[in-house]
């Protein structure tokens, strides 16, 4: 009888602990604002190879595509040893600016030391959005796009967006639909107007 009571109490406490963890995770997700930077608790990818411990002689930030965000790194100093902690510190600094969707850190040999190379994917946030020329309702286009205001955009994402919008037009009977996706800068740094231009063609 005592054994059963202890087991029942243990199971009750275990369920309570699981519920606390679940509520904590849910609160963190709900508290994150739309378009907020990726959580910095997630460790950025780091590939240092056998250069760990070498002196960092240079920090280089390489930004993919035509967009540019503030890529200054101040948290890692030239001359300090190459470590995973230093690489992650630099990557998190870039992510914390809100100007990047992803950052991967690499180490490359450089003379008698190493270069810390950070490959960063710039991002923009949607300030507003427009659909021009579509034969479909704008709501249907945005549902296919899967984007709302304040969502994140990357240049690779723009290509995928055009493909999704073109696909929904073909499904609705416009096999020759052409889609061009444009972004226009706003007065707010890092925010753009997203414009989807559609030439539906004959049904």
pTM assigned to the model: 0.73
The predicted pLDDT at position 26 comes to 34
Share of the chain above pLDDT 70, in %: 78
Chain Cα centroid distance, residue 34: 12
Beta-bridged to residue 62, according to DSSP, are 119
Task: Region of 67 please: left (phi>0), alpha (psi -120 to 50) or beta.
Answer: beta
Could you tell me the pLDDT band of residue 43, with boundaries at 50, 70 and 90? low
Q: Name residues whose C-beta falls within 8 Å of residue 9's C-beta, 6 or more positions apart in sequence.
A: none
Q: Name residues whose C-beta falls within 8 Å of residue 55's C-beta, 6 or more positions apart in sequence.
A: 79, 80, 81, 82, 112, 113, 114
Domains of the chain by range and CATH?
45-122 (3.10.20.310), 124-199 (3.10.20.310)
Residue 125: pLDDT over 90: yes
Residue 91 CB: number of other CB atoms within 10 A? Answer: 28
Dist. CA 143–CA 163, nearest whole Å: 13
Q: Do 79 and 111 meet the contact criterion of CB atoms below 8 Å apart?
A: no
Digit-coded pLDDT (tens) for 49-108: 899 999 999 999 999 999 999 999 999 999 999 999 999 999 999 999 999 999 999 999
Q: How many residues are given for the chain?
A: 203
> What is the DSSP code (8-state) at residue 55?
B
Parallel, antiparallel, or unpaired: how do β-strands 191-199 and 124-132 relate?
Answer: parallel
Could you tell me the pLDDT band of residue 11, with boundaries at 50, 70 and 90? very low
């Amino acid at each position: 009888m005592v054994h059963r009571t202890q087991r029942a109490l243990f199971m009750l406490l275990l369920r309570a602990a699981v519920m606390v963890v679940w509520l904590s995770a849910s609160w963190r997700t709900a508290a994150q604002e739309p378009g907020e930077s990726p959580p910095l608790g997630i460790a950025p990818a780091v590939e240092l190879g056998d250069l760990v411990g070498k002196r960092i002689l240079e920090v280089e930030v390489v930004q993919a595509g035509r967009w540019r965000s503030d890529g200054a790194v101040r948290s890692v100093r030239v001359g300090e040893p190459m470590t995973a902690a230093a690489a992650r510190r630099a990557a998190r600094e870039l992510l914390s600016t809100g100007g990047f969707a992803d950052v991967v850190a690499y180490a490359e040999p450089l003379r008698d030391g190493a270069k810390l190379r950070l490959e960063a994917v710039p991002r923009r946030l949607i300030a507003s959005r427009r659909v021009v020329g579509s034969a479909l309702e704008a709501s249907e286009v945005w549902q296919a796009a899967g984007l709302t205001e304040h969502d994140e955009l990357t240049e690779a994402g723009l290509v995928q967006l055009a493909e999704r919008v073109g696909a929904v037009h073909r499904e609705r009977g416009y096999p020759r639909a052409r889609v061009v996706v444009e972004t226009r800068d706003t007065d707010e740094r890092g925010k753009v107007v997203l414009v989807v231009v559609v030439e539906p063609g004959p049904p």
